[in-house]
Amino acid sequence: MATWSGIRNKLENDYLAESLRGHIQYYATSYSRSPDHEGRAAIRYDGKDIIKGCYNNYWLKAGQFPRDEKYEKRMQMEYAYMDDTALKLGVFDQRCFYSAFDEFDNQSIEKSLASENLIVRIFAVLDRRVGKRRLAKMKEHILQEPETFQEFFAIRANAEGIKLQTGDKNDMEIVDGTGN
């Protein structure tokens, strides 16, 4: 596996859309004094964490929500499985980023956009290989996507000049600069 600095360089310089360079930062670290070198990870937009997580969040937040044994079992068996619930709770760490990057870096952009791993999909929507035409096609179905993905889509769409109009959250409408 590559080093974090190498992964970050690829994500921020090789893959990231030109319009987002300097605005999106990827962050991952492990703590040498922590058992098993547990750490944390985040994606930042203009210095603000959009998603952030660490391994310990799983245990800290476990008692705050109704237990779903099926979900917990899947999280334990498929450590790389990241959905909207996991991202909102912050129950991921740097190893999830490494795993997501490995999947993302070794497959087509089409497969990354369709991945079950939401981190992979986020990497993909911020990728330079996703152009304005593909974003325009994606906006037709964006309301069916997880909220976290919608947030990253909005960041990318705004950076590309695709305007978002929001009223009620369920009535979000995305229009481009031509009124389409």
Q: What is the pLDDT along the chain (180 residues), one digit of tens a residue?
A: 578 899 999 999 999 999 999 999 999 887 766 555 677 899 999 999 999 988 665 545 455 555 555 555 555 555 555 777 778 877 787 888 888 999 999 999 999 999 999 999 999 999 999 999 999 999 989 999 999 999 999 999 999 998 766 543 444 444 444 444
Cα 34 to its chain centre, rounded Å, is 25
- Give pTM, 2 decimals: 0.79
Of the candidates 98, 136, 113, the residue with the CA atom closest to the CA atom of residue 11: 98
pLDDT score at 87: 82
Look at residue 29 and give its three-state secondary structure: strand
Q: What is the model's pLDDT at position 84?
A: 76
